[in-house]
Structure 1
Amino acid sequence: MKKIIIAIDGHSSTGKSTTAKRVAHALQYVYIDTGAMYRAVTFLALQKGFITTSIDKQGLLSALKESTLSFVHNSALGRSEIYLNGQNIEKEIRGLAVANQVSQVAKIPEVRTYLVALQRQMGAQKGVVMDGRDIGTVVFPQAELKLFMTASEQVRAQRRFEELQQKGEIVTFDQVLKNIQERDYQDTHREESPLQKASDAIEIDNSHIPLEEVVSQIVQLAEEKIKA
């Protein structure tokens, strides 16, 4: 059967990753979390001390090129997790420390160029669901199905706040909302690959739509594209 590339872009905390994972599972496609890749690079930068009042770009790029990034399937959890230099850093990259810096790291042109090349390699054989900020506009502009997910700031902040609380992080709702607003601004105003909706992307506002309904809608769209 013909395979396609499904590109899911959108704002932070719109449920892109959760949705993409379920769509990939339903279609038996490979899921690639590009946001996790940028978070992993941010974690590397923090780990190596490359982020102070500014970012040591050359130091970070050198360390990145000497590092390995990979996704390893966790059969117990039924999902892929990201590894940096052989270490599972899935938990480490989801905290607020990384979230507060990831947009700054993600706007570095050389970092984006390096990761985009990796992402294209991963999706070369198609049959992938990839989510991020520039999948349908930069990484795979030829993707057969492009989606742009959005939700209100308040809804996204509440989702993220609850997620962090469940992980034991001590944060306030206002801190999370501020982080969401800052990331939205940085993502949409950066010079390199800013977040924007592709002209042929289908927009899905999931502020008040159950996850199962969103997944079902996307799977149906994908099946129509595959048949076509």
Structure 2
Amino acid sequence: MRAIAIDGPAGAGKSTIARKTAQELGFIYVDTGALYRTIGYAVNHFGLSTKKAGEVVSALDRIHVELKFIDGEQRVFLNGEDVSDLIRSPEVSMFASEVSAIPKVREFLFDLQQDLANHHDVIMDGRDIGTVVLPNADLKIFLTATAEDRAKRRYQQFLESGTVVDFDRLLEEIKQRDYNDSHREIAPLRQAEDALLIDTTGNTLEESIDLLQKIIRNRLGLE
């Protein structure tokens, strides 16, 4: 089995770029951020606070998360319900950042992530894939872009989906998420020493996908 680990800050395009690249190469795409979003969504849905570790941990025995691949697309299920679309709001993004700092949550999801990598060729993205989850990955990539560029992309995505958001607030949320992810005690966001840095600032989505595919094919000797 071959594993590609892609880390980077929120809004860097990891999910979209990794998903399309996985489809092209015939790998399974694993969006670990969706797992943390699901935990955050569930805790809030239960009426508990994602800021209180005790409340989050107490909710874990009521949470069953599954990843299913339907027509080649990853869908996330919470207690049997497909929540793939419900977990994509800016609010849930912040919930994900808060619960991901809790060690018990990371332990809760760790085995699921490793099991997927042990049984499939995977492209897995997140915040600590190359440093913690898949330290022996065949290729590690740290994908990034400026906060302003990432905010513009997210803003456009929301507009295209018919959701009205304030750009300045979105930018501040991304900066706060960056701070939270890079300063948490457990598995902080950082570039693995052996990871390749790719900055997509100014790139179109197609340019970023093309660049990543070329690098992966070259590094892994794929035709």
Is TM > 0.5 for Structure 1 vs Structure 2?
yes
2:66 to 64, 70, 81: 70
1:26-45 matched pairs, under 5 angstroms = 26-45=24-43
Structure 2 distance, partners of 1:87, 1:125, is 24
Residue 115 of structure 1 deviates from its aligned partner by 1.1
Residue 92 of structure 1 deviates from its aligned partner by 1.1
Counterpart AA for 1:138: V
**Corresponding residue number in structure 1 for 2:57:** 61
DSSP 3-state at the match of 2:177: helix
| Identity value in percent | 38
1:188 to 178, 182, 196: 182
Structure 2 distance, partners of 1:119, 1:62, is 22
| Residues 187 and 194 in structure 1, CA contact (< 8 A), matched pair in contact too | yes
Residue 126 of structure 1 deviates from its aligned partner by 4.3
Residue 7 of structure 1 deviates from its aligned partner by 0.3
Q: Is 2:95 aligned against 1:97?
A: no
Q: Is 2:216 aligned against 1:218?
A: no
| Residues 4 and 226 in structure 1, CA contact (< 8 A), matched pair in contact too | no
Residue 191 of structure 1 deviates from its aligned partner by 0.5
Counterpart AA for 1:184: D
- The C-alpha deviation readout for 1:131-159, integer Å capped at 9, x for no partner, is 00000000001001000011011110111
Q: Is 2:108 aligned against 1:110?
A: no
| Residues 42 and 63 in structure 2, CA contact (< 8 A), matched pair in contact too | no
Counterpart AA for 2:142: F
Greater alpha carbon shift after TM alignment, 30-39 vs 91-100: 91-100
| Structure 2 portions without partners, runs of 5+ | none
CA distance 1:213–1:165, change in 2 (3 Å): closer
- The C-alpha deviation readout for 1:69-125, integer Å capped at 9, x for no partner, is 1122333xx521111111111111101221232211110111011112211111112
1:19 to 2, 17, 37: 17
Structure 1 distance, partners of 2:203, 2:169, is 25
Q: How many equivalent pairs are there?
A: 222
Runs of 4+ in 1 over 6 A off after TM superposition: none
Counterpart AA for 2:98: Q
Q: Is 2:2 aligned against 1:4?
A: yes
| Residues 101 and 186 in structure 2, CA contact (< 8 A), matched pair in contact too | yes
Supply the RMSD in Å over aligned alpha carbons. Answer: 1.8
TM-score (norm 1): 0.91
DSSP 3-state at the match of 2:142: strand
Residue 215 of structure 1 deviates from its aligned partner by 2.5
